[in-house]
Chain A
Amino acid sequence: MSTPYRDFDLAQHSLRELNHYLHHEVKQAAGTPVRVFNPDGAHSIACGVDTAVQIDVMGHAGYYVGGMNQHAQITVHGNASTGAGENMMSGLVRIKGFASTSAGASAHGGCLIIEGDASLRCGISLKGGDIVVGGSVGSFSAFMAQAGRLVICGDAGDALGDSLYEAIIYVRGEVKSLGADARFEPMLPEDHAAVTQLLTVAGFTHPSSEFRKVASARGLYHWNADANQEY
């Protein structure tokens, strides 16, 4: 028997109809997955969902897909524009393709998986969520990231982890440069366990031994007259 889906065709339905359903009626249709056809880069698809429901976006998504997500399992079968999974609190957002700038910005929880590359500022202001990027990330990724983990299977651009607080970055490839107050630290057993667990969730098989750890040197936690460009 085929799985019953609740389908929305954005060529026929408005975004407001879709999101209204995902905010309200979906709670009475527990367990019925949702498919979104013809997204055509529409912005704010499936933002503000607060229900454990599976949502498949069958194409490319615009800004803020899965924004502020709580509990939902959202898969974008294409690329995503700016702010994919921004400020998500829980659940999972998976981008099968590439993600534009600020993916997972200020995410407090849940897991964002980007199977391709992510652009600038991936994980900016991260506040507790996990992000796994199958490819590379652009400059200023994890800028001012406060908590949570960013796993980068490819390379990182300039200023990785600039002004980091307590978030941890694991990077497998080359790092063009580290940002202010970010430094490499030894991989401890718990780091290997964390990388292995996150890669398993994401469906990647790289050994954790190929990753390096970047964390805050905590040198900017208090005013420092000798670091005047960092304030």
Chain B
Amino acid sequence: MSANEYRGPLSQEESATFDRNVIDYVQRAAATGLYEIRGLGAKRKLPHFDDLLLLGASLSRYPLEGYREKCTTRTVLGTRYASKPLELDIPITVAGMSFGALSANVKEALGRAATETGTSTTTGDGGMTDEERNASKHLVYQCLPSRYGFNPDDVRRADAIEIVIGQGAKPGGGGMLLGQKVNPRVAKMRTLPAGVDQRSASRHPDWTGPDDLAIKIRELREITDWQKPIYVKVGATRVFHDVKLAVHSGADVVVVDGMQGGTAATQTVFIEHVGIPTLAAVRQAVDALEDLNMTGQVQLIVSGGIRSGADIAKALAMGADAVSIGQGMLFALGCNSSSYMRAGQHIDAQADYAALGTRPGYCHHCHTGRCPVGVTTQDALLEQRLEVETGARRVRNYLKTLTMELTTLARACGKQDVHHLEREDLVALTVEAAAMAGVPLAGTDWIPGR
């Protein structure tokens, strides 16, 4: 039989180097000459909190009665210098997301839910809206490189100020909001022409480096009469050094955002290839605070892919004082759902996903402004798909669920306060996670590299 006569099965051998996704990437680049921009966070599989386990109490530890004994969740942020630190009921905060990326309805819904659950929400790269200020008992006001809408009146009416150095989805990169989301109101707040593709700076306009940052923080303290906590947020890269520099600069609170953190619009190559996983970032941040003997004086907030009460319990056990959640809040609001709610009825949105070239569960098209469920849009019709009341209820339920899961796990570990969770309560499932988190591989006392 000659080679030409062979009629075996078709080859199904896919290249590991050039798989279908890579081929699609190359062909898209060849067709357009542009990189891909998308929303949400890293989609690649990374070491995460799922790779840790909590050690419940047994003979050597004493558990709390799960349904009877109290486990407190009160969390105070900004105790170092601020005369009015934030006193929250739970250690779960709402991350900074801009009006512009999100609709005004969403910002209001997040504010209402945060207020009802006793926690804080955060502005974003677009200034403060009256809707979110009025809805939020505790509102953190971001000071970003772009300074869009940044003004002293809002500085004074904020409850804390967060100086954003970077975010986990794109440490080292500036913000981005494509023209289709820059409607007249967004444009006015950002002092931009409506409809332009907005490119934000990656560096602050009036300071350079940690020595300057210390002076900038003191300016904000002077403007606010030393009342409000000053947070410094960094995207997770060289976390050990960055946290130390933030503390030296005078931060009350350091926010560390791992690479699973979300974005409204960023280059895919940036999202997937820059930064370090949240799990590794927490360990480095805690090490930095311990190295400076600042544990308890400077609070640590961790963000980037926090999803469940288990994630929160593990982050707290590793040494975080609180977590911050962005994408989880969007999913709670209905992001990637097949339908949206109107007057109590589910309205199917799958055709709108299809029009974007995606489907529920896979959508990351926040950058288009065509969100099928009205969450990440500025379109006057689409934004009505997210009713404030419905959104607030769903986010409140999510926050309550997270809190119940967190306290359940903490009680199982014998803690009367979720902040009593400790590193000793953790083990790792994988060698990688053990090395990153600095906890022993399960069933051993081995911490790689330590």
Given contacts A64-B215, A125-B201, A225-B32, contact A165 B223 (CB under 8 A): no
Interface residues of A (CB under 8 A from B): 15-16, 19-20, 23, 43-44, 47-48, 50, 62-64, 67-68, 70, 82-83, 86-87, 89, 101-102, 105-106, 108, 121, 124-125, 127-128, 143-144, 146-147, 163, 165-166, 220-223, 225, 231
* CA–CA, A231 and B190, complex, Å: 19
Q: Are B212 and A68 in contact (CB under 8 A)?
A: no
Q: Are A222 and B197 in contact (CB under 8 A)?
A: yes
Q: Is B34 an interface residue (CB 8 A)?
A: yes
Q: Are A63 and B205 in contact (CB under 8 A)?
A: no
Find the A residue at minimum CB distance from B145. Answer: A125
Between A and B, 8 residue pairs with Cβ closer than 8 Å are A23-B225, A87-B151, A89-B151, A105-B206, A143-B205, A163-B199, A222-B179, A225-B32
* Cβ–Cβ < 8 Å partners of A23 in chain B: 223, 225
* CA–CA, A64 and B216, complex, Å: 8
* Cβ–Cβ < 8 Å partners of B5 in chain A: none
Q: Is B354 an interface residue (CB 8 A)?
A: no
Among B155, B215, B219, B226, the most chain A Cβ lie within 10 Å of the Cβ of B219
Identify which of A43, A50, A70 contacts B215 (C-beta below 8 A).
A43
Given contacts A146-B192, A165-B193, contact A50 B205 (CB under 8 A): no
* CA–CA, A124 and B147, complex, Å: 11
* Cβ–Cβ < 8 Å partners of A121 in chain B: 205
Q: Are B219 and A43 in contact (CB under 8 A)?
A: yes
Q: Is B13 an interface residue (CB 8 A)?
A: no
* Cβ–Cβ < 8 Å partners of B225 in chain A: 19-20, 23
Among B190, B208, B222, the most chain A Cβ lie within 10 Å of the Cβ of B222
Q: Are A68 and B199 in contact (CB under 8 A)?
A: no
Identify which of A50, A125, A221 contacts B193 (C-beta below 8 A).
A221
Q: Are A43 and B155 in contact (CB under 8 A)?
A: no
* CA–CA, A64 and B207, complex, Å: 10
CB distance from B124 to the nearest CB of A (A): 17
CB distance from B247 to the nearest CB of A (A): 20
Q: Report B330-354 CB contacts with A as 1/0, cut-off 8 Å.
A: 0000000000000000000000000
CB distance from B35 to the nearest CB of A (A): 9
CB distance from A54 to the nearest CB of B (A): 19
Q: Are B205 and A106 in contact (CB under 8 A)?
A: yes
Q: Is B134 an interface residue (CB 8 A)?
A: no
Given contacts A67-B223, A68-B155, A108-B151, contact A144 B191 (CB under 8 A): no
Identify which of A16, A89, A225 contacts B226 (C-beta below 8 A).
A16
Q: Are A125 and B222 in contact (CB under 8 A)?
A: no
20 additional contacts, CB 8 Å, given A44-B215, A48-B223, A63-B215?
A43-B218, A44-B218, A48-B152, A48-B156, A48-B222, A62-B215, A63-B216, A86-B206, A105-B206, A106-B147, A121-B205, A124-B206, A127-B147, A128-B191, A143-B201, A143-B205, A165-B191, A165-B192, A220-B199, A221-B196
Q: Are B196 and A222 in contact (CB under 8 A)?
A: yes
CB distance from B277 to the nearest CB of A (A): 27
Among B34, B146, B192, B223, the most chain A Cβ lie within 10 Å of the Cβ of B223
Q: Are B152 and A50 in contact (CB under 8 A)?
A: yes
Identify which of A106, A108, A146 contacts B206 (C-beta below 8 A).
A106
Question: By the criterion of a CB under 8 Å from any partner CB, how many residues of chain B are at the interface?
Answer: 34
Given contacts A63-B219, A68-B155, A125-B201, contact A87 B147 (CB under 8 A): yes
Q: Are A89 and B215 in contact (CB under 8 A)?
A: no
Q: Report B157-197 CB contacts with A as 1/0, cut-off 8 Å.
A: 00000000000000000000011000000000011110011
Q: Report B371-384 CB contacts with A as 1/0, cut-off 8 Å.
A: 00000000000000
Find the A residue at minimum CB distance from B147. Answer: A106
Given contacts A64-B206, A221-B196, contact A82 B222 (CB under 8 A): no
Q: Is B446 an interface residue (CB 8 A)?
A: no
* CA–CA, A89 and B215, complex, Å: 21
Find the A residue at minimum CB distance from B174. Answer: A144
Identify which of B147, B151, B193, B206 contacts A166 (C-beta below 8 A).
B193
Closest CB pairs A-B (n = 9): A48-B223, A83-B206, A105-B205, A106-B147, A105-B206, A68-B152, A225-B33, A221-B196, A124-B205
Q: Are B34 and A223 in contact (CB under 8 A)?
A: yes
Given contacts A48-B152, A222-B179, A222-B196, contact A147 B191 (CB under 8 A): yes
* CA–CA, A222 and B179, complex, Å: 8
* CA–CA, A200 and B201, complex, Å: 33
* CA–CA, A221 and B193, complex, Å: 9
Find the B residue at minimum CB distance from A127. Answer: B191
Identify which of A43, A102, A106 contacts B150 (C-beta below 8 A).
A106
CB distance from A182 to the nearest CB of B (A): 15
Among B146, B205, B207, B225, the most chain A Cβ lie within 10 Å of the Cβ of B205
CB distance from B450 to the nearest CB of A (A): 42
Q: Are B201 and A47 in contact (CB under 8 A)?
A: no
* CA–CA, A15 and B221, complex, Å: 11
Q: Are A221 and B197 in contact (CB under 8 A)?
A: yes
* CA–CA, A128 and B150, complex, Å: 13
CB distance from B139 to the nearest CB of A (A): 18
